Amino acid sequence: MRIQTEEKVTIKAVYDTDLNSLLEKLGMMEDMKNGKIKCSFCDCMLSVDNFGGIFNEKGHLKPFCKKTECYLEVLKRKNAFK
């Protein structure tokens, strides 16, 4: 029998309506519009439509897409730093 434990995960969120201004403040909006930003994990081109989030790893912002695999990679890396 396998026992599962539950861990709390804090997720910081941004409303869809605020995403453009967040990307603008981070200096990423223009590059995203021009197809210059890739997912840090699967290397696909990011757009506002497939943008999943931004992960801070050792002081470097790493954008990622909405794919489940990429989100799971973020969780794995976050847990590695605990």
- The model's pLDDT over 25-62, given as tens digits with 9 standing for 90+, comes to 999 999 999 999 999 999 999 999 999 999 888 889 99
What local confidence, expressed as pLDDT, does residue 11 receive? 65
Backbone angles phi, psi at 51, to 5 degrees: -70, 125
**pLDDT of residue 8 exceeding 80:** no
Parallel, antiparallel, or unpaired for β 60-65 and 51-57? Answer: antiparallel
Mean of all residue pLDDT scores within the chain? 86
Contacts of 71 (CB under 8 A, 6+ apart): 52, 53, 64
Sign, CA torsion 59/31/20/76? negative
**pLDDT of residue 82 exceeding 90:** no
